[in-house]
Amino acid sequence: MNLKNDLILRAARGEKTERTPVWLMRQAGRILPEYRKVREQLKDFVTFVKTPELAAEVTVQPVDILGVDAAIIFSDILVIPEAMGLPYKMLEAKGPWFEKTVKTEKDVEQLRIANGDDLSYVTDAIKLAKKELNGRVPLIGFSGAPWTLFAYMIEGSGSKTFSQAKKMLYTNPKLSHALLQKITDSTINYLKAQIAAGADLIQIFDSWAGILSPEQYNEFSLRYISQICDAITLVPKIVFAKDAYFARKAMSKIKCDVIGLDWTMDIAESRTLIGLNKTLQGNADPCLLYADYDVIKRETEKMLRAFGPSRYIANLGHGLYPDTEKDKVKFFVDTVKEFSTEVR
Ligand code: CP3
Encode pLDDT of 258-286 as tens digits.
Answer: 999 999 999 999 999 999 999 999 999 99
152 is catalytic: yes
What does the pLDDT read at residue 342? Answer: 82
Residue from 22, 23, 26, 315 whose mutation best tests the ligand 1 pocket (most atoms within 8 A of CB)? 26
* 140 belongs to a structural domain: yes
Cα–Cα dist 90/32, whole Å = 19
Distance 344 CA to ligand 1 centre (A): 35
Residue 322 pLDDT grade (very low, low, confident, very high; cuts 50, 70, 90): very high
Residue from 25, 57, 75, 76 whose mutation best tests the ligand 1 pocket (most atoms within 8 A of CB)? 76
* 197 belongs to a structural domain: yes
CATH number at residue 135: 3.20.20.210
pTM to 2 decimal places: 0.97
What does the pLDDT read at residue 228? Answer: 99
Residues in the chain: 344
Residue 93 pLDDT grade (very low, low, confident, very high; cuts 50, 70, 90): confident
What does the pLDDT read at residue 203? Answer: 98
* 1 belongs to a structural domain: no
* 247 belongs to a structural domain: yes
Check whether 100 has a pLDDT greater than 90. yes
What does the pLDDT read at residue 209? Answer: 98
**Domain carrying residue 309:** 7-342
Residue 343 pLDDT grade (very low, low, confident, very high; cuts 50, 70, 90): confident
Residues in the ligand 1 pocket, defined by CB under 6 Å:
25-30, 39, 45, 72, 74, 76-78, 90, 95-96, 142, 158, 205, 207, 319
* 61 belongs to a structural domain: yes
Per the structure, the count of domains in the chain is 1
> Rounded to 5 degrees, what angle do the CA atoms 127, 44, 117 make?
35
Phi/psi of residue 127, nearest 5 degrees: -60, -45
76 is catalytic: yes
* 318 belongs to a structural domain: yes
CA–CA distance from 313 to each of 24, 72, 197, 341 (Å)? 10, 14, 24, 14
Distance 81 CA to ligand 1 centre (A): 15
Check whether 110 has a pLDDT greater than 70. yes
* 245 belongs to a structural domain: yes
DSSP string, 16-77: --SS--B--TT-SSTT-HHHHHHHHT---HHHHHT-HHHHHHHHHHHHHHH--S-EE----T
| 3 state SS of 98 | strand
Check whether 229 has a pLDDT greater than 70. yes
The average pLDDT across 298-319 equals 98
* 2 belongs to a structural domain: no
Single out the catalytic residue among 30, 136, 223, 298: 30
Identify the burial level of 303 via C-beta atoms within 10 angstroms of its C-beta, where 0-12 means exposed, 13-18 middle and 19 or more buried. Answer: buried
In the chain, the percentage of residues whose pLDDT exceeds 70 is 99
Single out the catalytic residue among 19, 117, 121, 152: 152
Distance 342 CA to ligand 1 centre (A): 34
Mean pLDDT of the chain: 97
Distance 322 CA to ligand 1 centre (A): 11
Identify the burial level of 114 via C-beta atoms within 10 angstroms of its C-beta, where 0-12 means exposed, 13-18 middle and 19 or more buried. Answer: buried
The average pLDDT across 283-299 equals 98
30 is catalytic: yes
Check whether 1 has a pLDDT greater than 80. no
